[in-house]
Structures are given as C-alpha cells and as structure tokens.
Structure 1
C-alpha cells in the first residue's frame, strides 16, 4: 500500500478547480475543507507555498500520517 494517499475533491456541479484554482476557492465546500480538514485527518497537498515546487491545487488533499507513518484510514481491497 502506498505511504501517501490523496484525493481530489469535486463538488456536486462538477467544479474541481483544475486549471482555475480561484473557482474552487470560491466554493462553500472549499471553505468547509479549510475549516474542518484537520479534524478529519486531511491536509492540503499542494498549498501556494508548496516546497515540492508543484502548482497550487486547492482541490488536492492528502491523508495526514501519524508519527508512526500510519494513517487513521484503511483501504479494503
């Protein structure tokens, strides 16, 4: 199983922000993510100041790892 697991959020109207981050940032869903993501174990994968040099992607989030390298989530196959 990969160590880093991520997902791309999209709203019910199909808006994902790909190519237009400002469009995704304007969504109430994004405001909810910013406010609640930490509570549910998510972190923004590529913030505007990403050290990886990857373009800002407000729709792309990853599951936070614990100190042990594990997450609170399990993938069932």
Structure 2
C-alpha cells in the first residue's frame, strides 16, 4: 500500500512539475512576442508593454521557485 501511495505522490509531483514548466515556457513565449512589439512602431505604449514584461518576469520567478520546491520535496 505504501508503494502505491508513494507512486501516486511522485506522479502528482511530476504532473505539477510539468504544469509549472509549461507555464514558464508559455510566459517566455509571451515575453519574446512583447519584446518584438517594443521594437516595432505600434499603437502600444512602451511603458505599458514594459509593465507587462515586469509582471511576466515576476510570475516566472514565482513559478521557478515553486518548481524548485517541488523538485526538492520529490527528492
């Protein structure tokens, strides 16, 4: 029974790890898109784009922290 519970816990941690990794990748793609917008003449103001980039960076940092915590708990 313990082996089943351990396996399930490890599966859950792996699933959580994958979700966080995917979220980080999606945020990185958004950053790249926004950086491209900054360097083009657009109707968007640079300040609002930069604010969005800062929000994305903070979100990524929190997700990376959660990812590290997940990995350390799995070990």
The answer to whether the superposition gives a TM-score over 0.5 is: no
Question: TM-score normalised to the size of structure 2?
Answer: 0.28
Higher relative contact order (CA 8 A, sep 6+): 2
TM-score (norm 1): 0.28
Give 1 or 2: higher helix fraction: 2
More strand by share: 1
